[in-house]
Amino acid sequence: MRFPTIPAVASAGLLLVTGCSLTEAPASSEYPSQSISIIVPVPAGSSTDLSTRVLAPCLEQELDATIVVENREGGSGAVGNGVFARAKADGYTLVSTTAANAVLPPILEGDVGYDVDSFRPVGMIGTAPIVLVVPAASPFKTAKDFFAAAKAGTVKLGIPGATSVPGISVDTLIDSTGLGITPVPFDGNGGTMTAVLSGEVQAGYVSGDAAVVLPRVESGDVRVLATAVTEPIETMPDVPTLKSLGYTDLPYADSFWFLATQPKTPDDVVGRLENAMKNCMTSDKVVTGLGKGVAPSSFIGGDQVATLLRQAASDYAKNRG
């Protein structure tokens, strides 16, 4: 069953406008000469959607064009990303998607009308590190306690969904180490955190989002034992990375989301977009709007994102294939 969220009633009308205009692509030197739509393949109100809507007004100013954020949810991103991949490569239909939504559906489902090569990233919008959390009263005081228990027996570990990035990451961890961890999928970060707090599971493995997880960390309801990213998290310098604990073979586990266009888009259009992105991602207004720890500390451009995206794709393909 799919749960709907706030639909873009207004965007229904705008969709028609932008849809019609796609047929007549103007010379790229005049770019942009019409409104640009950014497809968000997840529901309105999700963290990808919210940060895209924070970014959009700034891009409007930089590019001097109207930007329409369009939610096309469904199929874990497959529907919206498919619409994006089929659109004309003229810089007027962009996508704002997480790496997981860009990479996983083609790996898990086969032919969904796009794959990792359908995206030409323009720049990183935000990241959320994956964190291992336990309730405040947990006997696990450090990551060592947790892994000692995991080695000795079975630890129930809450994850925000079987095909979520944490879910895949923990599968790899179990496969490569033989640790006695049983992953238990819950309904998103919210459901997982509820289960961690009520003690239904001993620990949770979630992306540290600003909406659900980080506030619980700040309030002291949960303790972060470790993080799955390669570099320590800026806001939590004392938390060890799994890599530093000796668990190296993990897939790329940062949850990140980025703006992309189609590969065949003219280079000058992509250059124009990347430039605008750079100015926006370094503006105070956008950085504050995105929230603490979400925006990268310095702008991460298209090529760098592309490298990360391919790395994530090959890691996940190896794991699920």
Single residue of 117, 175, 187, 303 touching another protein by CB under 8 A: 187
Length of the chain: 321
Single residue of 119, 146, 186, 205 touching another protein by CB under 8 A: 186
Question: Residue 89, exposed/middle/buried by CB under 10 A (0-12, 13-18, 19+)?
Answer: middle
Distance CA 157, CA 169 (A): 12
Q: Work out whether 153 is an interface residue with another protein (CB under 8 A).
A: no
Q: Are strands 93-98 and 67-71 parallel, antiparallel or unpaired?
A: unpaired
Binding span for another protein by CB under 8 A among 92-100, 154-162, 219-227, 294-302:
154-162
Place of tokens 């703006």: 259
- Number of residues near another protein (by CB under 8 A): 46
CB of 46 to another protein, least distance (A): 9
Q: Work out whether 245 is an interface residue with another protein (CB under 8 A).
A: no
Closest to another protein by CB, 112 or 270: 112
CB of 19 to another protein, least distance (A): 11
Distance CA 162, CA 136 (A): 25
Single residue of 35, 66, 177, 185 touching another protein by CB under 8 A: 185
Closest to another protein by CB, 26 or 45: 45
Closest to another protein by CB, 44 or 102: 44
Distance CA 292, CA 210 (A): 8
CB of 236 to another protein, least distance (A): 27
Residues 105-134 that bind another protein (CB under 8 A): 105, 108-113
Distance CA 79, CA 16 (A): 18
Q: Work out whether 219 is an interface residue with another protein (CB under 8 A).
A: no
Report how far apart, in Å, the C-alpha atoms of 188 and of each of 134, 161, 210, 266 are. 17, 6, 14, 38
Distance CA 290, CA 21 (A): 31
Stated as kind and residue range, the H or E segment containing 222 is strand 222-227
Distance CA 311, CA 289 (A): 29
Single residue of 25, 184, 211, 217 touching another protein by CB under 8 A: 184
Closest to another protein by CB, 101 or 262: 101
Stated as kind and residue range, the H or E segment containing 126 is strand 120-128
> Is the distance from CB of 284 to CB of 276 less than 8 angstroms?
no
CB of 14 to another protein, least distance (A): 9
Q: Work out whether 154 is an interface residue with another protein (CB under 8 A).
A: yes
Binding positions for another protein, rule: CB under 8 A: 1-9, 11-12, 15, 44-45, 70-76, 78-79, 82, 105, 108-113, 154, 156, 161-163, 167, 182, 184-187, 195, 198, 200-201
